[in-house]
Amino acid sequence: MLLIPAIDLKEGKCVRLEQGDMSAATTFGDNPAAMARRWVDSGARRLHLVDLNGAFAGKPVNEGAVKSILREVGDEIPVQLGGGIRDLDTIERYLDDGLSYIIIGTAAVKNPGFMKDACSAFGGHIIVGLDAKDGKVATDGWSKLTGHEVVDLAKKFEDYGVEAVIYTDIGRDGMLTGINVEATVKLAQALTIPVIASGGLAGIADIEKLCEVEAEGISGVICGRAIYNGALDFSLAQKRADELNGD
């Protein structure tokens, strides 16, 4: 089970939101590269970056901060990024910068043709981010709820060739109320590609629950607010996950 620290970027700073609300941002650091170093030194094997401003603007906004992180740790572990990625040129530029994976969310739902083209052009590097509430997919920084079922869309993108699905329960994100394990398992069982859990991670109990169902196809979990406010010791949690998985 891969524990993946999240670094959410807003105006060049590291923040965390509650349920995607940009006005409810808590700043955890002014130096994204130093934050990335902190998590790598704590044992992280992958980093999850989100350009929050980009997600709302529909284009990259925090590219400078992303590059600073890649200069700091990009050669050591894979780094993935989502937020505001809407065209193939942006994907190519980010991959050239040193990102390992590009996460496409809103654009995948609104423009499936773009998603198909991205998987075709950059096979092995594309992850789809599906944010949902009560099983329905949301877009545009979670501000719009669609009528699409998560499982149906995930199957379609699996056919396109995405590497993995990041599944976020947006009713729980940033709220420390616990991962929606049941919904994550249901999605993983419907797919052959890995699912990465996200949204609501509260503590070590969530990690242990996810490790119990890893065999269903859940390969990792995004760690956000819990590792920033001290509710979860990242290094100890990754060691515990490795113990449970026999690594």
The yes-or-no answer on residue 30 being catalytic is no
The yes-or-no answer on residue 8 being catalytic is yes
Among candidate residues 8, 169, 173, 206, the one labeled active-site is 8
HEC string of the chain?
Answer: CEEEEEEEEECCEEEEEECCEEEEEEEEECCHHHHHHHHHHCCCCCEEEEEHHHHHHCCCCCHHHHHHHHHHHCCCCCEEEECCCCCHHHHHHHHHHCCCEEEECHHHHHCHHHHHHHHHHCCCCEEEEEEEECCEEEECCCCEEEEEEHHHHHHHHHHHCCCEEEEEECCCCCCCCCCCHHHHHHHHHCCCCCEEEECCCCCHHHHHHHHHCHHHCEEEEEECHHHHCCCCCHHHHHHHHHHHHCC
Among candidate residues 51, 131, 169, 206, the one labeled active-site is 131
- Which residues carry out catalysis? 8, 131
